[in-house]
A and B are shown apart, each in its own frame.
Chain A
């Protein structure tokens, strides 16, 4: 841990953000959803730590609760994309007959810019936390598939896999017992990158107007709501953006630290 400060620093910030999100009900000062026309667009003060937004809602409490949504989306996408990507990648890598078709579909998905694909899917499915998670996961999964498939392709040529095959071990058992464990380390590194990237994408979807509806605050949609006032009350964009960027930064350096520690080659945003 001491040899690798990025794991400690990145992990520390992430844990802090998760704690803030978990204990949001105890840390909030004012109900994040309650509107008060008298308190519209107040600058930060002792009553409103981060100021208030266009509807007089307390920005500090909204940012706390926003962390819940944003971290949940990031985590859910990371789990979903790595799960689906692992399954498809194992199949494509091991069953050569399916490989061509599966990888062409992945190439096709990756040819459409991830941002555009996620925006289109989310807008067409309709904005809800679940649909946003699905839309981002579809855009993120092909990279995981490609990573896992590459690993499987190199592993299946190894002698211990051949030896297992010759001794009559079934294909599914080879995949589960001999190939799957080797994918865990690179998958963990990739999961952190997907986590980080998903949080950024969530913000972009909200910004475009194709994200989570404002009744559920997320860092993304708080920033998006600050848009109309950006020239007069810039802090409405600034505070949630600082939280979001700091968290994503922390997850990214945690991922880099993990990669160096596990000696893995990660496949960041490509």
Chain B
């Protein structure tokens, strides 16, 4: 088992390397000169040259990559081109809103999607099943920000039941915090619900056709007990996998939904940075998000080896 875990850990190294190269080379895509942008329009050629030298822009690309990688490995993502503040610090300040949003969304999605998927499998091809299917395709088809605005307009703005936009930090009270996060989490969670419920349905259908389910039924066990104890546990692996893969959807969606609801999180930071071409922030956030995705999926894979001894990497 130790060998297996080690293999799985090692397998992430090349992916992390590729991600770092991809993100670093983004800088070379744009026509503009970062030094010129920092210096501003009135800068003399000398000023621009000094900034180029100071930023190491004159060094060969390979050398710059390794310099950058060395800093990144020390959690130093550089400084914002616009206000000179440390990117690590900027990201840290905006952690709470983004991670609150993601945690609540995941919770909401799993609590809704798993029972929905189980129900759809239990009553396969019934009206309920068709409705769940249509709803899940619909949530794939509506852009997350449209859902966000529709909810903000009809649920919050029209009725005044919930705050329309903004964010309340946890220290301002759990009630306020929750009230501000309900609509963003629901809008962001719908696509996640669709994803998880469909996999739950498919996985449950497979398990429900197994012999041991028939045995359980023959023993006279109650339907609910068979579904949630015997079947769901055995159907869990694909569900957990899709929760992990779906983290990419969540991270991407957070960037969008934070703009809709004016949440001062990492997503907003990213959008602002992208519009101002603040490369160090863009690179830092992309690297962070990719790392979260890789680590979450790594943990999930490792949990499999712990819980299911048949799985080896």
Using CB atoms and an 8 Å cutoff, list the residues of chain A in contact with chain B: 104-105, 107-117, 119-121, 123-126, 196, 200, 203-204, 207-210, 220, 223, 227, 230-231, 234, 237-238, 241, 244-246, 248-249, 252-253, 256, 268-270
Contacts and interface: CB of A to CB of B under 8 A. Distances in A.
B146 A107 contact: no
B142 interface: yes
B140 A252 contact: yes
Interface of B: 14-15, 17-19, 21-23, 26, 29-31, 137-138, 140-146, 149-150, 152-153, 157, 164, 195, 242, 245, 248-249, 251-253, 255-256, 259, 270-271, 274-275, 277, 282, 285-286, 289-290, 293-294
B274 to A, nearest CB: 4
Give chain A's interface secondary structure class.
helix
B68 to A, nearest CB: 16
B248 A113 contact: yes
A234 B289 contact: no
A63 B282 CA distance: 33
B132 to A, nearest CB: 14
Given A121-B29, A204-B143, A241-B146, A108 B19 contact: yes
Contact of A113 (B15, B143, B153, B293): B293
Contacts of B285: 116
Nearest to B267: A116
B286 A116 contact: yes
Contact of A126 (B23, B31, B149): B31
Residue with the highest number of chain A CB atoms closer than 10 Å, among B141, B164, B248, B290:
B141
Nearest to B285: A116
Contacts of A241: 142-143, 146, 149-150
Nearest to B245: A270
Nearest to A248: B141
Nearest to B153: A234
B19 A203 contact: no
B146 A208 contact: no
Given A110-B248, A245-B146, 5 more contacts: A108-B18, A116-B252, A124-B30, A203-B143, A248-B140
Contact of A231 (B153, B195, B293): B153
A177 to B, nearest CB: 33
B282 A120 contact: yes
Residue with the highest number of chain B CB atoms closer than 10 Å, among A112, A196, A252, A256:
A112
Given A111-B19, A116-B289, A210-B275, A124 B141 contact: no
